[in-house]
């Protein structure tokens, strides 16, 4: 009888040890998985928030550039004799935002984004931000650039260019972008300091790769502006030389 009791106790102890081992194994795995999921979520959120911050900064610079353009425009229109020497001052005021749509494409095309982030309101707000960003680019920057590229080489075009309208519309878009960005920061508890740390990490990667996308884009944009101005001047000269 004592032998059977001992065997039973040994069995219970072995069962308990096995149960504890299973709990520890699966519990540890679950903890590791949760940490991994939280890390993936944070990384994705930071990537998106960083893209939003950089885009907002680019459009703020574009807004400042258009205001600078307007100040020069007013001065030149009031003093037509200054037009010949105003090219550089006007060209500096052309909005040339530099950003990529890579993060947006990943965000919009990957259904796992919603599952990983797990915050529908955040996803909707980010979508709104990207929609407004696209409209700002097409309705303000692109249209203004098309008109302004002609205006810096033709006084009549500069005189007739309604720059205040573009600045006003751009300001509305900027307010919407800023509002969406701040809401996302609050929802996901992302601070400016967090974004600065992420920015330094990205900067190190770009430096290691020898990449400076902002500088490359600015050079290409300025080249386009110069070429458009040269073409417009050639057209004007051609009109005068027609028999």
The pLDDT tens digits for 3-33 are 556 665 665 566 566 665 555 555 545 444 4
Name the more confident of 176 and 222: 176
Locus of tokens 């050639």: 234
Q: Enumerate residues 6+ apart whose C-beta is below 8 A from 171.
A: 63
44 has pLDDT over 60: yes
Give residue 163's pLDDT: 96
Token pair belonging to 223: 């080249």
Taking all residues of the chain, what is their mean pLDDT, rounded to a whole number?
81
What pLDDT is recorded for position 54? 93
The tokens describing 175, both together, are 């307010």
Is the pLDDT reported for residue 87 higher than 70? yes
pLDDT at 113: 72
If you ran DSSP here, which 8-state letter would residue 140 be given? I
| CB 125 within 8 Å of CB 183 | yes
pLDDT of residue 199: 85
Q: Which two tokens stand for residue 38?
A: 């939280």
| Per-residue confidence (pLDDT) for residue 98, from 0 to 100 | 86
Among 54-68, 107-121, 170-184, name the one with the lowest average pLDDT: 107-121
Nearest-angstrom CA–CA distance, 208 and 121 = 36
Q: To which residue do tokens 């033709």 refer?
A: 154
Confidence of residue 67 (pLDDT cuts 50, 70, 90): very high
**Displacement of CA 95 from its chain's centroid (Å):** 15
Can you tell me which residue has the tokens 């149960």?
19
The residue with greater pLDDT, 150 or 173, is 173
Name which of 97, 64, 53 is nearest 198 in CA terms. Answer: 53
Which tokens is 228 given?
């458009």
**What pLDDT does 41 receive?**
77
User: Cβ distance 76 to 83 under 8 Å?
Assistant: yes
């Amino acid at each position: 009888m004592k032998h059977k009791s001992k065997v039973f106790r040994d069995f219970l102890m072995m069962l308990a040890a096995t149960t504890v081992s299973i709990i520890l194994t699966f519990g540890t795995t679950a903890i590791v998985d949760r940490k991994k999921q939280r890390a993936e979520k944070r990384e994705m959120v930071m990537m998106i928030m960083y893209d939003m911050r950089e885009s907002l900064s680019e459009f703020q610079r574009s807004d400042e550039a258009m205001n600078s353009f307007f100040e020069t425009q007013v001065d030149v229109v009031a003093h037509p004799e200054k037009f010949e020497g105003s090219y550089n001052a006007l060209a500096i005021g052309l909005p040339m935002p530099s950003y990529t749509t890579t993060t947006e494409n990943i965000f919009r095309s990957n259904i796992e984004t919603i599952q990983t982030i797990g915050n529908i309101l955040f996803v909707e707000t980010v979508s709104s931000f990207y929609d407004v960003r696209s409209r700002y680019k097409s309705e303000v920057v692109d249209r203004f650039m098309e008109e302004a590229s002609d205006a810096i080489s033709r006084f009549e075009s500069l005189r007739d260019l309604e720059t205040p309208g573009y600045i006003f519309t751009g300001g509305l878009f900027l307010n919407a972008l800023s509002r969406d960005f701040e809401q996302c920061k609050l929802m996901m508890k992302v601070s400016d300091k967090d974004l600065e740390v992420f920015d330094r990490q990205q900067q190190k990667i770009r430096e290691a790769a020898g990449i400076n996308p902002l500088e490359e884009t600015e050079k290409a944009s300025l080249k386009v502006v110069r070429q458009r101005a040269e073409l417009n001047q050639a057209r004007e000269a051609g009109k005068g030389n027609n028999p």
